[in-house]
Amino acid sequence: MNNLLPTIPVASWVESAMEWFTNQFSAFFTVIKDAGKFVMEHVTGWLISVPAIVLILLITIIAFFITGKKLGLAIFSFIGLLFIYNQGLWTQLMETTTLVLFSSVISIVIGIPIGILMSKSPVAENIIKPILDFMQTMPGFVYLIPAVAFFGIGVVPGVFASVIFALPPTVRMTNLGIRQVPKELVEAADSYGSTAGQKLWKVEIPLAKSTIMAGINQTVMLSLSMVVIASMIGSPGLGREVLTALQRTQVGNGFVAGLGLVIFAIIIDRFTQSLNKKKTV
C-alpha cells in the first residue's frame, strides 16, 4: 500500500549523522577505547589474581557485617560464590564484575550531578526528562549500534551501552529525592545564611540519601541486566557463556551460567539495599 505522503528519510539522516560523528571524533573514541580496555583488563586481572577462596571469604565477612551481623546474606554469598567457582565460572564472574562495576560507577558519577541540576532548574528538568524517557523506552539492543560504531567490539562498547541503559534511575531518583526535602528545612538553612553549596551538601543530599541510594540500586541492577546483551558485541563474562550456550543449544551450560548471574544479582541487590538501610537508621 502506497503512502499518501512521501517517506521521511529518517534512517538515512541518522546514518549520515553517525558516520559524520564517528569520523570527526574517531581519534577521541580510540583513546577512550584503549584507555578503558587497559584499565578494565588490569582490574579484571587483579581480581583474578586474588585466590578465589580468599575473595569468597572476604565477601562473606562483609555481607555478615553489612547486614547487622545477620547470617542470611553471608551464608547465601558463601554458598553461591562457591557454587560459581565449583562450576569453573570464576574468571567469567570477575569479568562480569568489572563490567558492572565500571558501568555503574560511570552512571552514578554522571547521573547524580544531572539529577541535582534537574532539581534546581525547571528548564533543565523539562529538557532532560524527555531524554530520560527516550533512554528508558528504547530497547537495550539498539544501544549496541552506536556502541559498535564508536568503539568497535569488546568490553568498552559494552560499558558504553550499559551506561546509557542504566543511567536514568540515578538521575530521576536524585531529582526526586532532593525535591522531596521538606521546604521548612531548606528555609531554615537559608535563614542561617547557608550558601547554595552548604545547603546542598549538608541538608538536601543527606536527607535525600535514601532515595538516591534506591536509584543507585536500580542502576546497578540494570547494568547487570545488560551483561548478556553486551556479550553480543564481544563483552566477556557470564553473559558470553549464556550467549554461547544459546548459539550451541547447550541447555545445561546455559542454565549454570544463568544461575551464576542470578546469584551475582541477588548478592549485589542485597548489598546495596543493606547499605541504604544502614545509612538511613
Q: Kindly report the pTM of this predicted structure.
A: 0.86
Compute the distance between CA of residue 1 and CA of residue 89 in angstroms, rounded to an integer.
53
Compute the distance between CA of residue 235 and CA of residue 229 in angstroms, rounded to an integer.
9
> Contact, 256 vs 89, CB < 8 A?
yes
Question: Which pLDDT score is estimated for 3?
Answer: 61
Question: Which pLDDT score is estimated for 177?
Answer: 92
Q: Which residues have C-beta within 8 Å of that of residue 233, sequence separation ≥ 6?
A: 144, 147, 148, 153, 154, 157, 158, 161
Classify residue 232 as exposed, middle or buried by CB count within 10 Å of its CB (0-12, 13-18, 19+): middle
The per-residue pLDDT string of the chain (281 residues; one tens digit each, 9 = 90 and over) reads 456 677 788 888 888 888 888 888 888 888 988 898 899 999 999 999 999 999 999 999 998 988 878 888 899 999 999 999 999 999 999 999 999 999 999 999 999 999 999 998 899 999 999 999 988 888 878 888 888 888 888 888 889 989 998 999 999 999 999 999 888 888 888 787 778 888 888 888 888 999 999 999 999 999 988 888 888 888 888 888 988 888 888 889 889 999 999 999 999 988 888 877 654 43
Which domains, ranges and CATH numbers included, belong to the chain?
11-49+87-280 (1.10.3720.10)
Give, in order, the Cα–Cα distances in Å from 134 to each of 127, 137, 142, 146: 12, 5, 12, 15
